Each structure stands twice: as structure tokens, then as C-alpha cells.
Amino acid sequence: MIKKKYIDSVQELFEDLGGYANIDYFTHCMTRMRFHLKDWSIVNEAKIKASSYATGINKNQGGDEYQIIVGMDVADFYDTFCEINGFDKDGKTIIFKEISQKDTNFKTKQIEDIKQMKDKFKVKGLTNKCLSFISKVFSPIVYPLIGYGLLLTLWSVMTVEWSGKDSSLASTVHFFGEFASILDVLTSTFSLFITIAVSYTVFKAMRCTPIYGILIGVVLTAPGLVAMGDVKPESGQTILGVYPGWTLFGEGITYPWKINFNGLMVPMIFIAIFGAYMEIWTSKIKNTTAKNIVGPIAIIGVTFLFAIFVVAPIGMLFTNYLSISVNWLSTNSIAKYIALPLLGAAYGPLVITGLHHSLTPIILQGQAAYGTTIIQGLCTLSNISQGVATIAFVVLNRRVRQLKELGVSNGVSAIVGGITEPSLFTVNLKHLFPLIACSIGVFCGSLVLVASNTFAVQGASSIFGFLMFQHKAPELTGATTWIGGGYVWGGISILVSCSVTFTMTLVLGKIKFFEKRTRDLLLEDYNEDIYELKAISKKDFKELILKDKQSKLALKNQIKAEKNNNRSIK
């Protein structure tokens, strides 16, 4: 937040310190601006000491810090310094942001450069602004997501029951059992990390204090709160009736519920946005002492109360009535042909919002009542198809070389491991049409699954989910599986879902609207223009790839030779 009284001061300080050429990075504490400079000798120290904003200078030679004492209002001074001089709030990254005329009355030599850069990369339209925000939120966690997916894929291979109970590698071979236990520790913490990281990146994207994002994420995933997947209502019970909560308004009145936000990424995004606006609001408090006291309480405390009293109940009511609806729709002889395929088609968007966790109690309730559930099969179809949609997108844009590495690994994670977040947030949601194609494919596959009365037990929701299909429908349902059994029709439903998804991804990707959006996003992400790449002939493109490989090999050999040369000198 820019403070007008510091605009001239931060410009002067920037110039006195030597500008971009001399400033490595900077931070602040309770009273001081702490600069890491390349050359202290060029600093105009006399001018800084004579300024109205600085009460002194301290040189920390050991810590390599050039400290300027500002006072208790240093946080506002720091924010203004970043905004005016084009730094991100990390105090290191140089960004390009034009300052509006209402906030400033100056013109510096860097403004024209900033304006030109901003105009060149200007995001147009509300939709693209939203997508740009999503990109800022999820880009920092793309590679951790890839690692998460690959680790969970390996864990799934070791723990899947190949031919009944205790038939997994982990159950039959001691080494694999222990190794799977190690992987389980790694993978179980990733979901928690991603939830907290999303809160952090939202604060950073909104140019607020990221540490508050971490605190809010940690508080809302605390052990004292209960995950939706851990609530197991018995037959005749509702989720609302059994979910633990507080009884602030008297015994017997459970409100609010103790909902753990672990894995609920979209609700966490909205909560973090609310928290960021709380910080923006509290930053307007003029009294520095009051701001330092009220700010943290409002940002953390009020945001937590907003999450527990508003966001959590909305999610809980959604889950409760979804459970009631799904249980009725799953057994109605007519409605199930419409509702369940639609649920399958909507599963991908539910994963994006984090509300797919609301299906876990429903699956457990169905399994407790009938021994199997049809919804498990829908989850399997959706997860596999998300990976297929990502790979189809890579095929469609196969000349973007960097995309192959990212897209294929994320697609395989979804297909083999059932981990769709990397595919969803790096490709399918970002480019939109792969997500739509996946929903169409899953709808078609779900029709086959529902019509053939193919049920599955709870377990792997990946390609190994094929093993979860049951040969016959449970007797209590009164349904009869088509001739050939659940394995045959489960396999056919997977093939239908995947083939329709792949085809529709290619078809939708040719539509001008999606094609143009994809071009803009790939240009922004990888600095490669698919229109230009498509214009290159196959022969020329092969030569281009060959030259690229040769140059990389030459660079590798050069680095190796330099290392060997340095060793020989030593």
C-alpha cells in the first residue's frame, strides 16, 4: 500500500543507494530497512543522514547489511519503496508496475520503460485476469505437485490389491511394505503442504505479507479440526448429525463444525483472498501502534472466524445434501441414468474446488450399506480421463518442447497414481477445453458403467481402479450386472471415457477461441508461439530439434571440460 508522504523519500533513497545496479535485495525489521548492496562506497550517505525519513544509519559488516533506521512505520515505508521503485514485496524481484497519477506526482526515468513493458504484456479482460491470478497462485507449486504425483504413483503400485485382500506388494514382500510405509509418510504430508502453500501464494499474488498466508493455512489444517474423509456416518445417519463441532449456543446445538481444510484448495483460496483484503484494510490504520496490534489479530483471527462460521458451514451443508441426493439418485431406476453420469462429469471440477472430499463419506456409507458403491467407479473414470486429456493436449501442441516434459509426467501421475491436481492446475483448468473434454468423456463412460450396473469397492482411483470393480452387483441393490461381469464392463467404460476424452480434446482445441487462448498462455509460460511453430515444415522442425540437442550437448561438454581444467589447475 503506497503512502503518499513517503513517495519522494523512497525515490531519493533509491537513487542515493545506487538504484537497481547496486541493490541486490532488501528486507525490513521492526524499525529498519536492511539493504544488501554490491558496493557501499557509492552510497550517498550524507544525503541519507540529512533526510527527513531516516533517523540514522547502521552498517552491519558481518551480516553484509546496510541498515537505515526509519522507525515504527517502516512497514509502510518498505511497501512504498517496493511499489514506487518496481520491486516485488520479496524485496528482490524487479517487476513492472505503473503507478497511477492519483497516487504520485512524479516522473522518473524508469516510468517509460515500465509502461512499455506493461503495455506489451498487458492482460486483457476479466477472464484472463482471473486466469493470470490462478497462474500466479499455482505456478510456484507446479513442480512440488509433479513430485507429489510421482511419489504417490509409486506408492499406489506397491499398495494396490492385485487379487483380493493382502495381495499387494507391500503385504507380500517385507521390503516393499517398509518402503511403502516411508512413501506413505512423504505423500500424506504433501496434501497438507499444498493446502498451506496455496494460502501463501494467494497472499504473495495479492502483494500482501505471505507469512500471514502460511499462518492461516496452518490454523485451518490444525489437528483439532476434523477432515471430511474421517467422518463415517452409519446407515440412517446424516453427515450433519455426526460431524463434530462446537456448542457455543448451548448443548445440542452444534455450530460451527470443526472442519479441517486440508485438501480443500478452492475454499482455501477464497479464505486467503479474504485474509489478504483484511491486511489491506488494516494497513490503512494511521496510528502505527494501533495498526501493529489490530492488524495481526484481524488478519488471522477474523479470517479464521470467517472460515469456520461462513465458508465451512456452506461446505458442510453442500456435503450433507449432496449425500442425501446421491444416495437417492443412485438407487432410483430412472434418475440414476442422468444424475450419476452428471456426477461423474462434475467430479473434475469438484476436485478443483476441493469438494470431492465430500464424496468420501458418501462412498463409505454406500459401502457400509451394500458392500460396494457405483460412485467409486466414477472417480476412477474421471481421474484416468484427466490424465488422458492432459496427454491429448500435449499431442495437440507437441511442438512446444518444454510442455512435453511437464504434461506427460502430470498425465501419467493422473492415470497411474490417480493424482489429478498436477494435470488439472497446470493444463486442464488453465486451458479449459481439456477439462470440458474430460467431463464429456467421463459422462459417456459413466453411462456405460451405470447402465451395466457395474459396482466397485473403495480403493485405487487410477488405472489400478480396474481391480476394484466387482464381478456382480450386490444383491441388496436388486441390480443385475450385464453379461460378462463388472471387470468387462468396467474396462469398456474406461476405454469409452478415455477415447471420447482424447478425441474431444483434439476437436475442442481446434476451435478458434480455445486455440487463441492456448497460444497466448503458452507464449506467456514457455515463450513459444504455436502459430509460428506450426508454420515450420516437418523437415525444418526436425533440423531445429537436432541443432538444439547439439547445442545442449556442446554446452554440456564445455562445462565438463572447464571443470576438468579447473581440477587440473588445482
Q: Which domain holds residue 69?
A: 6-93
Number of DSSP helices (H) and strands (E) in the chain, helices first: 25, 4
**What's the rounded Cα separation, in Å, for the pair 283 and 302?**
15
**What's the rounded Cα separation, in Å, for the pair 21 and 385?**
50
Residue 98 located in a structural domain: no
Residue ending a domain, among 315, 346, 367, is: 315
The burial class, CB within 10 Å (0-12 / 13-18 / 19+), for 253 is exposed
Cell of 485: 461381469
Query: Could you tell me if 151 and 232 lie in one domain?
Result: yes
Query: Could you tell me if 498 and 559 lie in one domain?
Result: no
Annotation marks residue 498 as catalytic: no
**What's the rounded Cα separation, in Å, for the pair 71 and 52?**
12
**What's the rounded Cα separation, in Å, for the pair 156 and 384?**
14
Torsion of CA 205, 208, 212, 213, to 10 degrees: -10
Residue ending a domain, among 93, 114, 146, is: 93
DSSP string, 38-80: S-GGGS-HHHHHHSSS-SEEEEETTTTEEEEE--TTHHHHHHH
With H, G, I as helix, E, B as strand and everything else as coil, classify residue 455.
coil
Looking up residue 23, the CATH number of its domain turns out to be 3.30.1360.60
Q: What is the pLDDT of residue 364?
A: 56
Cell of 460: 485405487
- The alpha helices in 283-400, defined as continuous H runs, are 288-296, 303-306, 312-331, 336-353, 359-370, 375-396
Of 29, 82, 208, 438, which residue is the catalytic one? 29
**What's the rounded Cα separation, in Å, for the pair 397 and 530?**
7
CA 94 to chain centre: 24
- The per-residue pLDDT string of the chain (570 residues; one tens digit each, 9 = 90 and over) reads 678 888 889 999 999 999 888 898 898 887 889 999 988 989 999 899 888 888 889 888 777 889 998 887 888 899 889 888 888 887 887 775 444 444 444 444 444 444 444 344 344 556 556 656 766 776 677 667 666 656 766 776 787 666 667 778 888 899 999 998 998 888 777 778 878 988 999 998 888 889 999 999 999 999 889 877 677 777 667 777 788 889 888 887 888 888 888 877 778 888 999 999 999 999 888 888 888 888 899 999 999 999 999 988 887 777 667 666 766 776 677 888 888 899 999 999 888 876 676 676 567 556 656 667 888 899 999 999 999 999 999 999 988 888 887 888 889 889 988 888 888 888 999 899 999 999 999 999 999 999 998 988 767 788 888 877 888 887 777 788 899 888 899 999 999 999 999 999 999 999 999 999 999 888 888 878 888 888 888 888 788 778 777 777 777 777 777 777 766 665
Residue 343 located in a structural domain: yes
Structural domain count, the chain: 4
Specify whether the CB–CB gap between 146 and 409 falls below 8 A.
yes
Sheet with 56-60: strands ordered across: 23-28, 32-37, 65-69, 56-60
Query: Could you tell me if 407 and 542 lie in one domain?
Result: no
**What's the rounded Cα separation, in Å, for the pair 121 and 521?**
11
Instruction: Please state whether 252 falls in left (phi above 0), alpha (psi between -120 and 50) or beta.
Output: left
**What's the rounded Cα separation, in Å, for the pair 375 and 383?**
13
**What's the rounded Cα separation, in Å, for the pair 325 and 365?**
13
Q: Which residues of 296-335 are buried (b: 16+ CB within 10 A; e: fewer)?
A: eebbbeebbebbbeebbbebbeebbebbeebeebbeeeee
Residue 352 located in a structural domain: yes
Query: Could you tell me if 362 and 504 lie in one domain?
Result: yes
CA 413 to chain centre: 15
Cell of 96: 513492472
Residue 324 located in a structural domain: no
Query: Could you tell me if 476 and 341 lie in one domain?
Result: yes
Residue 364 located in a structural domain: yes
Specify whether the CB–CB gap between 303 and 278 falls below 8 A.
yes
pTM for the full predicted model: 0.56
Query: Could you tell me if 502 and 376 lie in one domain?
Result: yes
Query: Could you tell me if 370 and 441 lie in one domain?
Result: yes
Residue 109 located in a structural domain: no
Residue 88 located in a structural domain: yes
Q: What is the pLDDT of residue 474?
A: 79
Cell of 210: 505471505
Q: What is the pLDDT of residue 114?
A: 40
Query: Could you tell me if 149 and 220 lie in one domain?
Result: yes
Give the dihedral sign, CA 321/322/327/331. positive
Q: What is the pLDDT of residue 121?
A: 39
